[in-house]
Every structure is written in C-alpha cells, then in structure tokens.
Structure 1
C-alpha cells in the first residue's frame, strides 16, 4: 500500500511541476498567434486606445511599442563586463504605406559619440508574427525581423517585456498591412 501512494504522489508531483514550467516555444507561438485574432485582439486594442487616449489604433500601437522600447532599452549599465558598453535606443514610425521605419541610436557610455541607423521594414505580404530570442546567457533579448528573421531590435533581457513588445509589434504590423 505505501508503495502505491508513493507512486501516485510522484505522478501528481510530476504533473504539478510540468504545469509550473515555462511553456515550450511552440506553445508560446500558438498562444501568441491566437492573441492576434478574435475577441482577444479587440480587447487588447481597446485597452491600448483607452490607455493612450486615442481612438486611432495605429497611434495607440505606435505609442505602446515606443513606450515598451523606452522601458526595455538596452542601456550601458546592463552590459557589465563588456568592453564597449553603449546605450541602444529605438523608435518605430510608419514611413510610407506598408512600411515601418526602425530608428536605432547607439550612444557610447562615455563621450558624445552617437550613431544613428534607420532601417525600413516593408510589411506587405509578411507574416505579422514577431519572434524573439532571450538567450540564457547574456544581458539581452533580440526581436526578429518578420521579413527574413534577422535581428531587428535588441532590448534588455526580460522575457515578459520581450513577449509584450513582440505582441504589440505584431499588432502594429497587421495594422500597417491594412493600409
């Protein structure tokens, strides 16, 4: 009898542990894709419009994406142990119909060096789902360009922040694809 209880407890423990572990990337992708449509999308967009005081979905999405980019910016202070630490700051805007402009500013930790790089991201015909990676080692997460999977944005390593930014950016791409 005690052996039967031990086995039942170990099975129960295994089930509880599996429920507490972070979901696999495939499950996260399916969940993220599900959030891009239906009632969840309407609720998300309504909340953003309320939060940013606008009735324009695109303005609300741009404001939210840019606020998240400010919040999770990769600052030199997070890059402990790296030789050339720098701030990476981003700004997203709509540059033309069907095209986003990603402005990247990199500032050296010391000095006045400022480098600006602009990248145009055409969004017509691309999968709006933005993927991201947050390697276990290192201080950053990378959001991938939906066009070709290349690195697009680098932010501080924060899974929840990267997930929210990817979600908002995905909604923004869908919105820009409509115009």
Structure 2
C-alpha cells in the first residue's frame, strides 16, 4: 500500500512538473510568436504606408489576390476557363467578406460575396495546391471547403494563407 501511494505521488509530481514546463515553454513560444507577428505587421504597415494593422493586412491580402489571380490564360485547354478575381473587406466588426468576380470568355460577369464570421473560427488558414491542375485553393477555416482559388503557386498560396491567418486573428480582437 505504501509503495502504491508513493508511486501515485511520484506520478502526480511528475505530471505537475511536466505541466509547469509545458506552460513555461508555451509562454516562451507565445513571446516569440508575438515578436514575429509584431515584425510582420510592422513590415506590412511600412510597405502599405498604413498606421493600422487591419488596413495593412487587408491591403496585403488584396495585393496578393491581384498578383496570383487565376485568369483564363493560365487554364489552357479548358473550354470553361474563367478569370477569377477576389477582393477582401471587413465592412462590419467580426466578419471578413470575400468578393468573387467570375468573368467568362464571352465577357459575362458574375459577382458573389462570401461572408466569413470570424468569432469562434480557427484563424489558421490552410491551402492545397494539387499536382494536377492550374490552381491552389485556400480553404475555409470553418469546414475545409474551398474559400477562394488562385493560380498554382506554392509560395503565393503560403503567403496568402499567412496574411489571411493574421487578418483573422486581428478581426477576432
């Protein structure tokens, strides 16, 4: 009985020590993340001549969407190729609006808006760039469905996902 009790106490103490170490490591990681975020936001504000984090993030996201737009010219051999252009905005607190324009080869234009409520959403944005095809897909953090498509460029998709992740965190404040 004494050995069993001693073993339980040792296990409990080991768990407390590991928990304390994990908490310290987490706090140190948060400090690094905060420093990285501050540097990233500072660079964006300088680049876009803005004093506001959110405006700099929106400008950067829109710039990336413009640069990596999936245009019909990038889709050879597809009869249904369209120009896809997106624009980000945040008209109300706690939401991100994604405006999509689809221009067909015949010149017809379809415009749609997706509203992404940001509260309670994991701000980590994922993307996929399949080997086959000409596009990368940025995934909706709510359910993993496609949120928007850009030309197939891993670096561009990674930078856009990073900017959107920081933007969602900012909108969640």
TM-score (norm 2): 0.80
Flag as ranges the 4+ runs of structure 1 deviating above 6 A: none
How far 1:37 sits from its partner (Å)?
2.5
Unaligned runs of 5+ in 1: 1-32
Secondary structure at 1:40 match in 2: helix
Which residue number corresponds to residue 17 of structure 1?
Answer: none
Residues 142-157 of structure 1 aligned to structure 2 (within 5 Å): 142-157=137-152
Which residue number corresponds to residue 163 of structure 1?
Answer: 158
Unaligned runs of 5+ in 2: 1-28
Residues 123, 147 of structure 1: 8 Å contact kept: no
Alignment of 1:113 onto 2:139: no
Which residue number corresponds to residue 56 of structure 1?
Answer: 52
Secondary structure at 2:157 match in 1: helix
How far 1:147 sits from its partner (Å)?
1.2
C-alpha RMSD of the superposition: 1.5
Residues 1-150 of structure 1 aligned to structure 2 (within 5 Å): 37-109=33-105, 111-150=106-145
How far 1:123 sits from its partner (Å)?
0.5
Q: Distance in 1 between matches of 2:132 and 2:91?
A: 35
How far 1:95 sits from its partner (Å)?
2.4
How far 1:107 sits from its partner (Å)?
0.1
